[in-house]
Amino acid sequence: MNETKLIEKAIEAMSKAYAPYSKFKVGAALLTKSGRIFTGCNVENASFGLSICAERVAIFSAVAAGEVQFEKLVVVANTDSPVSPCGACRQVMSEFGDFEVLLVNTRREVVRTRVSELLPRAFKLREG
């Protein structure tokens, strides 16, 4: 999978974000080991606790489609600097292994990391 294409998919997903309160738009594109791509955008709610991040939308969509082995996740935000996933997203990501994560900003600057770097010593009930 061409990394540029994956970044473009995340940017496209970001354009669909529903963020009327914070104006903080995020998109994600998840590449599975089988080669499928799942995208997600953040969706806010007036009751902020009911909002969901782009990363979890992409991961949950993949799981709902029967995919649980991930290769790479691109997270892009409408910011000057690449942004890192929140703690809840890091925990969800860690459930599915130590895959590569690319953090991207609107200028397409990329910070490369891995799930294990984002959440060292993650809480786990099983190895996986």
Annotated binding site for Zn(2+): 53, 86, 89
Catalytic entry in 8, 12, 44, 55: 55
Active site residue 55: yes
Closest CA to 10 of 25, 28, 36, 24: 28
Catalytic residue annotation: 55
